[in-house]
Amino acid sequence: MDQGLIPAAEAINKLIQEFNKLPGIGPKSAQRLAFYLLRAPEEQSKLLAESIFSLKQKISLCSTCFNVTESDPCPICRSDKRDHSQICIVEQPQDILALEHTGIYSGLYHVLHGAISPTEGIGTEDIRIKELLNRLQDGSVKEVILATNPNLEGEQTAMYLSRQISPLSIKVTRLARGLPFGTELEYADDVTLTRAIEGRQEF
Ligand SMILES: [Zn+2]
């Protein structure tokens, strides 16, 4: 056997292993991606490697809304074109991408980074609830839209937040119409999501 093949094979195996650790990528897909990159122009691997590297270097969390950002506060929190009297509560930063894509919401956001889940040991202290309640203290927010996922954890979280926010005399609404129970926001299509925002109900 040609000795020169061994390091190359090791490099491929290593990449396959790393791809395999990513969500939604099984061993077959990991293999396909690794061999694709092997054939693709070197520039493509370089760009991919650089974007993965700069992800951790450049991206941090907005200290106001906890969305991912390259500058703090993030462009949404900083913008005077956004309605600062509305805050939409989401579980993950990618939910903001989904909502922004609909183009009909112009308020601010708050990212909880999770949902309350007693079965997984995630309590109210483990997600950004305290920070949200702090944001609501100055009276400038008139409406909070609960856009947690329409599943068990999302519902529990929405119920808890509603109980915490209601005494502050802030209107609390919840995305409703159109979103099937058990789904995740980031996978909802634009039409469904648009209807859900427009049809939000008092919670
Ligand atoms: Zn922000």
Distance 37 CA to ligand 1 centre (A): 36
Distance 30 CA to ligand 1 centre (A): 35
Question: Which strands make up the sheet holding 83-90, listed edge to edge?
Answer: 107-111, 83-90, 143-146, 171-174, 201-202
Q: Which residues contact 128 (CB under 8 A, 6 or more apart)?
A: 66, 110, 111, 112, 113
Predicted TM-score (pTM) of the model is 0.76
**What is residue 55's three-state secondary structure?**
helix
Distance 189 CA to ligand 1 centre (A): 24
Q: Each residue's pLDDT tens digit in the chain (203 positions)?
A: 444 444 558 889 999 999 999 999 999 999 999 999 999 999 999 999 999 998 889 999 999 999 999 999 999 999 999 999 999 999 999 999 999 998 999 999 999 999 999 999 999 999 999 999 999 999 999 999 999 998 889 989 999 999 999 899 899 998 865 677 677 888 877 877 877 787 787 77
pLDDT for 178 equals: 66
Distance 67 CA to ligand 1 centre (A): 6
Distance 8 CA to ligand 1 centre (A): 44
Distance 138 CA to ligand 1 centre (A): 17
Residues making up the chain, counted from first to last = 203
CA dihedral 69, 73, 74, 76 (to 10 degrees): 160
